[in-house]
Amino acid sequence: MFHKVSALRTGLLSAALLASAAIATPAAAEGEVNIYSYRQPFLIEPLLEAFTKETGIKTNVIFAADGLAERIQAEGENSPADVLLTVDIGRLDGAKEAGITQPVTSEVVNENVPAAFRDPEGHWIGLTTRARIVYASKERVEQDSITYEELADPKWKGKICTRSGQHVYNVALFASIVANKGAEEAEKWLADVRDNLARKPTGNDRSQVQAIFAGECDISLGNTYYMGAMLNNEKEPEQKDWANSVKILFPNTGDRGTHVNISGVVMAKHAPNPEAAVKLIEFLSSEEAQHIYAEANNEYPVKPGVEISELVASWGEFKPDTLSLDEIAKNRKTASELVDKVGFNDGPQS
């Protein structure tokens, strides 16, 4: 059963509740849009409140950490979902591959969102970008530039931390290496990076910065917006200390550019409110919504000309890799297979 946004301020629905919930009846009322969202309430609520204020269309939302794409697939033609909000090109393209999406036709979206951040067939649309960067100890790392290739240099032996190589954020990065360097070179690179790890991959992106603060490693892979999340974390002020112990290095700014990924949206194949769904997607790509995204979660807007937040601006400018996300999606399977082939998640082997 759907809950209005205002009733969701207490937090996420548990995965157990989602798994046990009965399949909902599609909402057919005019002026409503039904949203399944992996994106957290604190970020989505301001956007949806602004959308309703502007259009009068009510938003009904289910939040969860996982399982929503599978739920839409299981619900089939009876699914009440109009749109799915998620992160990472892998999850967006995965929804398309699962057959739970339909193409969005909108000149507004096409004007607001550059083609590089849209599926060529219209099945997914990027809404924000984030860079996969290197967090480096201010105390122990003197250099202010780096490349992804350099992570394989023996000088970093025992000094790199990262989350699982099979996490979607890393798979996308590794897929960009495959696309840029070829599978053979990517395999060797992964094996060399594995042997430079300080420990087996574990935890999330924030955990790696905590490990740098604790002296367990000197550099780590992470997404840019986690810096903002740590610096603005009032509930766990120790995260500010973690964040202040590191600096952000944008890899490959001197050549092909830093790998970027997206958050985005798909329209469900059996959306009961397709017109309202398109209006929501158009709004999320608008200048107003893009500004909210930039301020609320310290992400980079996809709409050209929308200013980034003051905090994000303080991290400096960088050159993004121009490799299309569609090309990255095509290489995800190879990247994932290489992670297993070299035993990346087993940690150093030499």
Is position 225 annotated in a ligand binding site?
Answer: yes
Q: Are 224 and 243 in contact (CB under 8 A)?
A: no
pLDDT score for 61: 96
pLDDT in tens, 210-226: 999 999 999 999 999 99
> Within this chain, do residues 212 and 333 fall inside the same structural domain, yes or no?
yes
pLDDT score for 24: 39
Dist. CA 323–CA 94, nearest whole Å: 19
Dist. CA 157–CA 160, nearest whole Å: 7
Q: What is the phi/psi pair of residue 222, to 5°? A: -170, 165
Dist. CA 41–CA 61, nearest whole Å: 9
Q: Are 103 and 122 in contact (CB under 8 A)?
A: yes
> Within this chain, do residues 203 and 248 fall inside the same structural domain, yes or no?
yes
Q: Are 123 and 101 in contact (CB under 8 A)?
A: yes
Residue 99: give the domain boundaries. 3-129+261-310
Q: Are 170 and 345 in contact (CB under 8 A)?
A: no
For the chain, list residues with pLDDT below 70: 1-30
> Within this chain, do residues 198 and 327 fall inside the same structural domain, yes or no?
yes
Dist. CA 21–CA 205, nearest whole Å: 31
DSSP annotation string for 231-246: HT-SSSTHHHHHHHTE
> Within this chain, do residues 106 and 253 fall inside the same structural domain, yes or no?
no
Dist. CA 82–CA 32, nearest whole Å: 10
Give strand ranges (E) for the chain.
3-4, 32-37, 58-63, 83-87, 101-102, 125-137, 160-161, 219-223, 246-249, 260-268, 300-301
Dist. CA 308–CA 322, nearest whole Å: 19
> Within this chain, do residues 246 and 272 fall inside the same structural domain, yes or no?
no
Residue 258: DSSP 8-state: B
pLDDT score for 350: 79
Give strand ranges (E) for 250-287.
260-268
Q: In 3-state terms, what secondary structure has residue 287?
A: helix
> Within this chain, do residues 29 and 160 fall inside the same structural domain, yes or no?
no
> Within this chain, do residues 79 and 180 fall inside the same structural domain, yes or no?
no
Q: Are 127 and 119 in contact (CB under 8 A)?
A: no
Q: Find the helix packing angle between 168-181 and 89-97, rounded to 10°.
A: 90
Give residues with Cβ within 8 angstroms of 333, minimum separation 6. Answer: none
Q: Are 267 and 335 in contact (CB under 8 A)?
A: no
> Within this chain, do residues 174 and 299 fall inside the same structural domain, yes or no?
no
> Within this chain, do residues 51 and 101 fall inside the same structural domain, yes or no?
yes
Longest Cα separation, the chain: 63
Dist. CA 109–CA 80, nearest whole Å: 23
pLDDT in tens, 76-95: 999 999 999 999 999 999 99
> Within this chain, do residues 231 and 111 fall inside the same structural domain, yes or no?
no
Q: Are 198 and 158 in contact (CB under 8 A)?
A: yes
> Within this chain, do residues 268 and 251 fall inside the same structural domain, yes or no?
no
> Within this chain, do residues 255 and 266 fall inside the same structural domain, yes or no?
no
Number of domains in the chain: 2
For residue 39, give the CATH number of its domain.
Answer: 3.40.190.10
Long-range CB contacts (within 8 A, 24+) of 292-298: 292/46, 292/47, 292/50, 293/43, 293/47, 293/127, 293/128, 294/128, 296/42, 296/43, 296/46, 297/43, 297/128, 297/225, 297/228, 297/229, 298/224, 298/225, 298/227, 298/228, 298/229
Q: What is the phi/psi pair of residue 247, to 5°? A: -120, 160
